[in-house]
Amino acid sequence: MEPGVPPARLTSDPALEVCPNFASPAFAGLRNALVQTDGIPLEQTAAHLSGLWADDNAERCEVWAAQLEADRVAEEAAQAERDAADLADRDAAAQKAREEAAEAEKKRPKMPAYSIGMAAPETIRPRIAPYARNKLKSFQYVELWYFTAEGLAATAGANRSSADDAYGFVQTNDTMALKPLNSFKAAKSVVCDTDLSWVQLSTGSAFFMDEVRAANWEPHAHESLRLFFYAIFNHPSAVMKGGIEGLIAYQAIMRQEWHDSLALDTADAERWDLGVFLEYRLVLIRQEQALATSHRLNSEVSPPPPSASHPNFANRSPASSPPPLASPLFAPPPSLLRPLCVDRLVRVPVPPHAPAFCVPRFASTPRRFFPLPLDGCEYRAVSGEERAALGLPA
């Protein structure tokens, strides 16, 4: 074997080989060659050849042993790699199973925690309609009727039917979700806030505030609602004729507008506070109610046709504009024709031939305008001379 050259790989164990019989006639030529080339006596050539074969066999046995050892080491290394790969696969599978189990645990409905040994409340809390609860959770406007005794009774006494279990598609952000129909469908017997009675408004607002607190509204929103209802129930006009109707309408209009402003995509500074009571809005609402009552009464009684000699109808053709505000047909109640001071605003009767609509002028808020009902009056700031002429305090 040449040095530096790796031995050829053996295919069989040399120890299993048998030494040939070099004294047989088959090796006569080999024995004669040894005699001629090496000078070995003929009787010793067979033994010499057997010794050479034994040396070569011993060397090949060593190579075989080394080859077996190398194969064993290589097999152990390969087995170690296979074991490591199998272990890595098992670890990955176990990790995936744990992740899937954790995800399934997140999606699984969980029962809320509760205080063990704590007794139930002594009073039974009424349950509001799912529609109203859904509105409160989403900070949207909801009618106070759902929180009155009539609304709670309608919710508690409603017969459960297959419609209660029906589901419908609802858009939430950019996705569609299935939700129960009764959670976003208003009750058929719901009463508008403007049609509530004073007792319904009182009881409904109290229970509404409790539900607002339970719905985890922001503290400042809860405080604004508290001030809003406090100002309504303690307003001095509540003991006056028509005052309750005006306050009920004020509650309905202002609370609806407040929720509409919260839904607008504007800056926070532009969203106003519901807890600030606006006297002039209440006066405008009461004016509209008085005008509606006056029109209703005028429509129930058929007045005589106006005389052609009436100053407001003189030289007026049939196709001309309708009678002015001061005509007998559309005369507002006398109480509305008297000047009325509200903060810095004064309600002043306008001339008979004034336009059909008057734009109120507010000294404190010059950029805010509200439509004034056709009652023959307008709101505006007056000077000291005008206040004295109108009989108002300075």
pLDDT of residue 382: 56
> Which pLDDT score is estimated for 36?
85
Nearest CA among 380, 376, 385, 285 for reference residue 341 = 380
Q: Is the pLDDT assigned to residue 210 strictly greater than 80? A: yes
CB 60 within 8 A of CB 52: no
Residues 369 and 379: beta-carbon distance below 8 Å:
no
CA distance 47 to 22: 8
* Closest of 338, 337, 339 to residue 325, by C-alpha: 337
Answer whether residue 252 shows pLDDT above 70: yes
Q: For residue 35, what pLDDT is reported?
A: 82
Q: Please determine, for residue 226, whether its predicted confidence score (pLDDT) is greater than 90.
A: yes
Task: Report whether pLDDT(1) > 70.
Answer: no
pLDDT at 343 exceeding the cut of 50: no
- CB hemisphere CA count around 372 (13 angstroms): 24
- pLDDT of amino acid 31: 84
Q: How confident is the model over 39-59, as pLDDT tens digits?
A: 888 888 888 888 889 999 999
Beta pairing, strands 167-172 & 345-349: unpaired
pLDDT for 229 beyond 70: yes
Out of 85-89, 194-198, 339-343, 387-391, pick the least confident.
339-343
User: Which of the listed ranges 133-137, 302-306, 324-328 does the model predict with the highest average pLDDT?
Assistant: 133-137
Report the first-to-last Cα separation within the chain, whole angstroms.
132
Tokens of 83: 């074991």
Quote the tokens at residue 144: 């106070």
Amino acid at 234: N
What's the pLDDT score for residue 306?
53
Q: Is the pLDDT of residue 227 over 80?
A: yes
pLDDT at 255: 92
pLDDT of residue 69: 93
Measured distance CA(382)–CA(363) in Å, rounded: 9
Mean pLDDT in residue range 145-151: 90
Quick one: pLDDT band at residue 101, thresholds 50, 70, 90? very high
Read off the pLDDT band of 93 (50, 70, 90).
Answer: very high
Query: CA-to-CA distance for 212 and 233, rounded, in angstroms?
Result: 19
pLDDT in tens, 152-192: 888 877 645 444 555 555 565 566 665 655 555 777 888 99
Give me the chain's average pLDDT, please.
75
Question: What pLDDT band is residue 312 in, cutting at 50, 70 and 90?
Answer: very low
Which amino acid is it at 332?
P
Residues with Cβ within 8 Å of residue 285, at least 6 apart in sequence: 246, 249, 250, 253
Residues in Cβ contact with 325 at an 8 Å cutoff, skipping those fewer than 6 apart: 332, 350, 352, 354, 356, 374, 375, 376
Give the other-Cβ count within 10 Å of 12's Cβ: 9
